[in-house]
Amino acid sequence: MTPPLLRVPDLPAALRATLLVLALFTAGPALCLCIFNLPNNPDTVGFGTIDPSLNTTYTFTVSVNFTCVLSSATFTITGLNDTGPGAFRLKHVTQVPAQYMSYAVTTTNTATSVTFSGQLVAANYKNAYLGSYSDTLTVMLTP
């Protein structure tokens, strides 16, 4: 039997490939399938401009929609600049040696979406180098 993702002739080739890759990167029983619902999911979020003179917690919130067949889903989040599980860090874009600001990410799951909430507290940016910081989060969807 041809996999369902390969039987859809009217999807552009790039979108078919993306859906196939997302389905392949899910881990679980062979009869379960989860895919992210594209193209309505965001690819970037941010804390905005940080003012170190303020004692403010900066936040971001983003929801990602997905569909799972024959299973519910759990998530694993890793960051490019992590120091371990759940130890997320923003890295200064140009500073050498590298400079970092720690931040937190929490999730709220439903049957068809996961919401990521990030927090950057004042203690983590008060003495940071000026400039741009970034991180890349990877989400592993497991049926």
Q: Is residue 6 part of a domain?
A: no
What is the reported pTM? 0.70
Q: Is residue 24 part of a domain?
A: no
Structural domain that includes position 99 = 41-138
pLDDT of residue 22: 40
Dihedral class, residue 96 (left if φ above 0, else alpha if ψ from -120 to 50, else beta):
beta
Q: Is residue 25 part of a domain?
A: no
Enumerate residues 6+ apart whose C-beta is below 8 A from 97. Answer: none
Number of domains in the chain: 1
Overall average pLDDT of the 57-84 stretch: 85
Q: What backbone phi and psi angles, to 5 degrees, belong to 62? A: -145, 140
Cα 68 from Cα 72, distance rounded (Å): 6
H or E segment at 23? helix 13-24
pLDDT tens-place string over residues 76-135:
888 999 998 889 999 999 999 999 999 999 988 888 888 889 999 999 999 898 999 999
Q: Is residue 29 part of a domain?
A: no
Q: In the chain, what percentage of residues exceed pLDDT 70?
A: 73
Cα 59 from Cα 7, distance rounded (Å): 41
